[in-house]
Amino acid sequence: MKRFIVPSIVLILVTAGVFVRYEIVGPARAAARDLEAINGITVGKTTEAELLGRSTFQKMDVQCSMGYCFYYTGRANLFLRKLGLAPPAFFGTRVVVRDGLVTEVSVYISNGTRVPLSLSQKMPLPEGCASSPCVKPAILPTKALVSIMVLFNNESEFRNRMPEAIQTACLSRLHGCSSYDELMPLARGLNLDASVALK
């Protein structure tokens, strides 16, 4: 009987190790697949039928209201957060469809310590955006800064670079990612910290 104890303990430890690793890296891998799914979508040109031709969109959560349909995903570092090894981090994607055409493609990330970021393809760009990409702070009437938006139009090459847009590995890192350059590598050089300073 004793000869089975050591192999049993080893098996339990290996199984526990595999489970822990999956719980840690799972959200980052899922987020990377989400970015792949929205890569190359073009606002005003990609149809809902084309979206549903991608297997990921066939399984994605969707809500429709008042003529709009929202295809969305959400990932969080729940395991690391519960263990107190990282601040709460959230990553999400959203594709908006109206009248059979994509009208918006967005990526969101929050790391629990900085103002949340969003990267959105829109047409037309909102007032005040003279360039593509454009950095625009989202400020409430109370003057509170709720997020920093990086906006670009459907002619921007950003739409074909979604897998590198966000550092999805931040969801699986101990202590997460603290800087905007780490969180959103695609927006390096846009001086996102200046937007926070303006609040």
- Strands 145-152 and 61-65, by their bridges, are unpaired
| Region 158-169 average pLDDT | 91
Q: pTM of the predicted model, to two decimals?
A: 0.84
**What pLDDT shows up at residue 177?**
86
| Region 150-165 average pLDDT | 92
**What pLDDT shows up at residue 101?**
96
Q: What is the pLDDT of residues 70-82, one digit of tens each?
A: 999 999 999 999 9
- The proportion of the chain whose per-residue pLDDT surpasses 70, expressed as a percent, equals 85
- Residue partners of 51: CB distance under 8 A and separation at least 6: 41, 57, 71, 95, 97, 102
